């Protein structure tokens, strides 16, 4: 019963109203029907039944009790959690973003790249069900995220994507489509939509070879027909534009007719990026066979079991007592609490988490932590709010795959370096290829070595190794000896001792400040920038493909 509470406690206010109604009812019938002042007593006995007043008072009591019990039931007493399976539409989509150098063109403000990222954000926010993945490509393709229903993760990674992070330059859409189908296969999904966000396709066959009604390919064109030059600001050459070897200015254009034909052959739709939602609504409406099917998500949501309907057992006798009059029966039937709708409760639960996400995005992690019902999201909110100790407790209790890695980051920023290293070791023991955990572990180990080295150097110094209490005792003994030998100069000796103590204290404080600044500087180096993590991930995948010889037979392609 420690978990006993009410799901809708505001209904308990009605209990006070029920008591007030009962009191007013009894007061109204305390003196009969008030006909005593108008009718003679002889006639009153004949006209009014003698049992009316006692029954009227009992009726008021029954009404008050019935209303109070109904309010308690409507408040939703609960003390037990029930796992509820979740189903969602069998709707899978892979977003493929072109990250070739031509996406830097600024023929649409502020640039093709920024507008494409904004458009993908709109697509993500429009998808309320199903699984979504994100693939990027230039000279090669990489999966940013696999198929997942965590739209927020994809949205957070979007701002970090840019062509300069791609290990291989070019515009190989074929590899992007291969990666998309690989994600579908890994997730055991036999149909899904593909949305290609690009400013051009060089070879028609790179797309049409993947034409399949089960995986229609829609295209969202980015750019204009007039095109524009490619700025080289990303290469630290501001003001310059990309040129051919012959010195001709390169100005990629958007061939809408060609992209329209490719989308038609690939069983999809084509739209040019525009202001508003008409373009994304069109490309997202590509028909799929069996589009109305649903699948069960491999997780349960714990919901509180609403036990208010048990109050109906207590209301049954009151209904029988009030059946003759009818009024009590109607009121009680209207207020009998029914079992709470599980879907309604799920909506309410998700809404609080949605509010928490909104607060987190708006920069108020403290308020987000108060709103989150999900303990994993709550830990993330505390982490972003700088409360790393509480965040570490949340990550330690989490069962998510990345919880140990997040725990290591939280412990590192909380100053618990040895515990952070242990957390990273647990990550690496289960996933030896986790580059971020290996990098962070090496960084924290280096920081720990520096702290230990600083401590050893401090111990080797004669004065700094002493505690403040020992230094004070030594100084007091010296002052006492000086007072015995030179009583006339005791005041001056005391002044010199105070100055020495103050100077030593200033040195100790400066040393502590310097160590704290060094600690904060090292902790700031613990990487949490998704751009750096993705860049290393892409480079690692490219290196693996180079070792396998995947690029051996590739012909020379244009780099934009």
My answer on whether 266 and 369 are in the same domain is no
My answer on whether 422 and 487 are in the same domain is no
Give the list of residues 6+ apart from residue 307 with CB closer than 8 angstroms, or none: 76, 77, 78, 79, 80
Question: Which carries the bigger pLDDT value, residue 385 or residue 85?
Answer: 385
Phi, psi (rounded to 5 degrees) for 527: -75, 125
The predicted structure's pLDDT at residue 290: 65
Which CATH number is 438's domain given? 1.25.40.10
pLDDT surpasses 80 at 528: no
Q: Provide the CA 93 distance to its chain's centre, in angstroms.
A: 20
Q: Is 552 among the domain residues?
A: no
Q: Do residues 210 and 231 make contact, with C-beta atoms less than 8 angstroms apart?
A: no
My answer on whether 178 and 127 are in the same domain is yes
Q: Do residues 263 and 211 make contact, with C-beta atoms less than 8 angstroms apart?
A: no
pLDDT surpasses 80 at 12: yes
Would you list the DSSP string of 334-350? HHPPPPPPHHHHHHHHH
**In the block, residue with structure tokens 């709103």:** 371
Q: Is 142 among the domain residues?
A: yes
For 215-253, what is each residue's pLDDT tens digit? 999 999 999 999 999 999 888 888 899 998 888 899 999
**pTM, to two decimals:** 0.51
| 481, two tokens | 């000896």
pLDDT surpasses 70 at 349: no
227 dihedral zone (left: phi>0; alpha: psi -120 to 50; beta): left
Q: Would the CA dihedral through 387, 392, 398, 399 be positive or negative?
A: positive
Q: Is 43 among the domain residues?
A: yes
Provide mean pLDDT across the span 451-463: 61
For residue 434, the SS3 value is coil
Q: Is 320 among the domain residues?
A: yes
My answer on whether 152 and 48 are in the same domain is no
Of the candidates 98, 96, 100, 99, the one whose C-alpha atom is nearest the C-alpha of residue 557 is 100
Q: Which of 92-96, 406-410, 543-547 has the highest mean predicted lDDT (pLDDT)?
A: 92-96
The predicted structure's pLDDT at residue 553: 53
pLDDT band at 509 (very low <50, low <70, confident <90, very high): low
Cα separation of 511 and 70, whole Å? 68
For 164-184, what is each residue's pLDDT tens digit? 999 999 999 999 999 999 999
- What is the number of structural domains in the chain? 4
| 405, two tokens | 């890695």
My answer on whether 324 and 424 are in the same domain is no
pLDDT surpasses 50 at 477: yes
Q: Is 15 among the domain residues?
A: yes
Query: How far apart, in Å, do the first and last CA atoms of the chain sit?
Result: 66
My answer on whether 91 and 231 are in the same domain is yes
Provide mean pLDDT across the span 455-478: 51
Q: Which of 78-82, 374-378, 466-470 has the highest mean predicted lDDT (pLDDT)?
A: 374-378
The predicted structure's pLDDT at residue 323: 53
My answer on whether 480 and 389 are in the same domain is no
Q: Do residues 361 and 377 make contact, with C-beta atoms less than 8 angstroms apart?
A: no
Strands 131-137 and 92-98: parallel
Of the candidates 6, 361, 441, the one whose C-alpha atom is nearest the C-alpha of residue 156 is 361
pLDDT surpasses 70 at 393: yes
My answer on whether 450 and 472 are in the same domain is no
Q: Provide the CA 477 distance to its chain's centre, in angstroms.
A: 62
For 249-272, what is each residue's pLDDT tens digit? 999 999 999 999 999 999 999 999
pLDDT surpasses 70 at 291: no
| 277, two tokens | 């939602």
The predicted structure's pLDDT at residue 88: 52
Q: Which residues pair with 91 in a beta bridge?
A: none
pLDDT surpasses 70 at 360: yes
The predicted structure's pLDDT at residue 238: 86
For 54-70, what is each residue's pLDDT tens digit? 555 566 677 777 788 88
My answer on whether 408 and 336 are in the same domain is no
Cα separation of 357 and 368, whole Å? 7
Q: Do residues 410 and 383 make contact, with C-beta atoms less than 8 angstroms apart?
A: yes
| 45, two tokens | 């006995």
For residue 32, the SS3 value is coil
Q: Do residues 158 and 534 make contact, with C-beta atoms less than 8 angstroms apart?
A: no
Residue where a domain terminates, one of 437, 456, 475: 456
My answer on whether 244 and 118 are in the same domain is yes
Q: Is 531 among the domain residues?
A: no
Percent of the chain past pLDDT 90, that is, above it, reads 24
Q: Domain containing 69: what range?
A: 5-80+305-340
Q: Is 559 among the domain residues?
A: no
Give the containing element (helix H, strand E) for 205.
helix 205-208
My answer on whether 124 and 213 are in the same domain is yes
My answer on whether 12 and 101 are in the same domain is no
Q: Is 525 among the domain residues?
A: no
């Amino acid at each position: 019963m420690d978990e006993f509470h009410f799901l809708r406690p505001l209904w308990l206010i009605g209990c006070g109203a029920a008591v007030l109604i009962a009191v007013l009812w009894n007061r109204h019938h305390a003196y009969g029907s008030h006909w005593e002042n108008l009718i003679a007593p002889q006639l009153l006995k004949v006209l009014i039944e003698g049992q009316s007043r006692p029954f009227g008072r009992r009726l008021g009591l029954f009404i008050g009790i019935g209303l109070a019990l109904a309010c308690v039931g409507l408040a939703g007493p609960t003390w037990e959690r029930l796992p509820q399976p979740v189903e969602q539409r069998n709707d899978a989509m892979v977003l493929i973003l072109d990250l070739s150098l031509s996406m830097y063109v600024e023929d649409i403000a502020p640039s093709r790249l920024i507008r494409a990222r904004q458009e993908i954000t709109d697509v993500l926010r429009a998808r309320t069900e199903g699984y979504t993945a994100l693939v990027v490509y230039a000279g090669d393709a990489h999966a940013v995220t696999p198929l997942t229903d965590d739209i927020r993760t994809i949205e957070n990674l979007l701002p970090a994507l840019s062509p300069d992070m791609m290990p291989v330059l070019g515009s190989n859409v074929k590899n992007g489509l291969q990666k998309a189908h690989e994600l579908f296969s890994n997730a055991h999904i036999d149909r899904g939509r593909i949305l290609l966000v690009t400013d051009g396709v060089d070879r028609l066959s790179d797309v049409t070879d993947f034409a399949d009604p089960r995986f229609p390919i829609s295209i969202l064109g980015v750019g204009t027909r007039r095109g524009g030059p490619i700025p080289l600001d990303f290469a630290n050459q501001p003001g310059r534009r990309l040129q051919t070897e012959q010195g001709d200015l390169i100005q990629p254009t958007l061939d809408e007719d060609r992209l329209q034909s490719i989308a038609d052959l690939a069983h999809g739709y084509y739209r040019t990026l525009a202001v508003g939602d008409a373009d994304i609504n069109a490309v997202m409406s590509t028909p799929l066979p069996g589009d109305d099917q649903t699948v069960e998500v491999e997780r349960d949501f714990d919901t509180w079991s609403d036990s208010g309907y048990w109050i109906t057992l207590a209301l049954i006798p009151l209904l029988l007592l009030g059946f003759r009059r009818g009024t009590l029966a109607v009121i009680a039937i209207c207020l009998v609490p029914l079992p709470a709708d599980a879907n309604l409760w799920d909506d309410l639960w998700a809404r609080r988490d949605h509010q928490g996400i909104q607060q987190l995005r708006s920069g108020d992690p403290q308020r987000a932590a108060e709103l989150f019902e999900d303990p994993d999201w709550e830990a993330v909110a505390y982490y972003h709010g700088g409360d790393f100790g509480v965040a570490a407790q949340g990550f330690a209790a989490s069962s998510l795959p990345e919880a140990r890695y997040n725990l290591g980051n939280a412990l590192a920023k909380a100053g618990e370096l040895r515990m952070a290293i242990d957390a990273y070791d647990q990550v690496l023991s289960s996933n030896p290829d986790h580059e971020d955990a290996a990098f962070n572990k090496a960084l924290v180990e280096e920081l720990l070595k520096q702290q230990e080295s600083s401590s050893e150097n401090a111990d080797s110094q004669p004065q700094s190794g002493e505690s403040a209490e020992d230094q004070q005792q030594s100084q007091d003994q010296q002052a006492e000896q000086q007072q015995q030998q030179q009583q006339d100069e005791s005041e001056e000796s005391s002044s010199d001792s105070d100055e020495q103590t103050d100077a030593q204290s200033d040195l100790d404080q400066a040393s502590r400040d310097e160590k704290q600044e060094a600690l904060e500087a090292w902790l700031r180096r613990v990487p949490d920038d998704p751009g750096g993590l993705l860049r290393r991930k892409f480079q690692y995948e490219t290196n693996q493909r180079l070792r396998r010889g995947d690029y051996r037979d590739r012909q020379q392609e244009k780099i934009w």
